[in-house]
Amino acid sequence: MSATALETREAVEAHAPGMISNVLTLAWRELRDALRARSFLLYSLAFLALGLGVSYVSAASTGSLGLSGFGRTTAGLINIVLLVVPLMALSTGAGAIAGDRERGMLLFLLAQPVSRLEVVLGKYLGLAGALVACITLGLGACSLVLALQGGATEPRTMLWLAGLSILLALSMLSVGVLVSALARRASVAVGTGVFLWLALVFVSDLGIMAGTLAMRLPVKSLFLATLCNPLQAFKMWALHSIDASIDVLGPAGLYAMDTYHDALPWMFGASLIGWIVVPLLLAVVVFSKRSPV
């Protein structure tokens, strides 16, 4: 090993503990601020209330058939996760950097001995911890209601749904942080996040259907277009994991089951992980080149 390479390695090893400490400090600050924010608390209460409502109604309507109630509740919770979790993650991430920039805190933060990479990672990890806490609380309360009302349940299914929900939240959080790095005002960033949520939840489905009818897309292209939407990837993966047929999604679901049956979990996972990694890397690049004011 050359002397230059050895010096570089020693410098990285010496800087690593300091970088980890800075990232964890920033993450703790962001986690504390997120849990104190009224908007985040409202999202958490809404998710908890909707989940408890679905769990209680499903358990009460099935009587002693606890396993059936559990499956019905899981299917209902998938739709709740699709609506609440992306909105919560996008709006929370959108205000992370833009909010500090607007208040002047970002300039003060960068004056400290921290790099811009550490700032982005710290904010992301802190907000991710808050989202994980919210999802765990909501789905854990739903599981408790089912256990008390329905008797026999399948906890593995709820744990798997919680893991998929966390992956969806992390992917949307990455997109929100990227929007926050691009915007200069928190209101613009949050508004853009809400617009992206509407586009992913509603417009994308209508656009895919309209494009299919207008351009007569083959079913393979339809499935790939659906796979590019993280919400649809989550939905298909969740339905596939609870042994439900994804042919409810139409020709794309039938094509996926017939063609990629064994590889579907890997495809869904790659889609969600891609939505986590790529926007976060872009956020680091954009933030490193933007002025803090």
Instruction: Examine residue 177 and state whether it is found in any structural domain, yes or no.
Output: yes
Instruction: Examine residue 60 and state whether it is found in any structural domain, yes or no.
Output: yes
Instruction: Examine residue 9 and state whether it is found in any structural domain, yes or no.
Output: no
Q: How many structural domains does the chain have?
A: 1
Is pLDDT larger for residue 207 or for residue 100?
A: 100
Instruction: Examine residue 52 and state whether it is found in any structural domain, yes or no.
Output: yes
pLDDT in the model for residue 59: 59
pLDDT band of 72, cuts 50, 70, 90: low
Q: Is the pLDDT of residue 12 over 50?
A: no
pLDDT in the model for residue 156: 76
Are the CB atoms for 179 and 187 separated by under 8 Å? no
Instruction: Examine residue 89 and state whether it is found in any structural domain, yes or no.
Output: yes
Q: What is the mean pLDDT of the chain?
A: 79
Instruction: Examine residue 131 and state whether it is found in any structural domain, yes or no.
Output: yes
Q: Is the pLDDT of residue 289 over 60?
A: yes
**Residue 64 sits in which domain range?**
18-289
Percentage of the chain surpassing pLDDT 70? 74
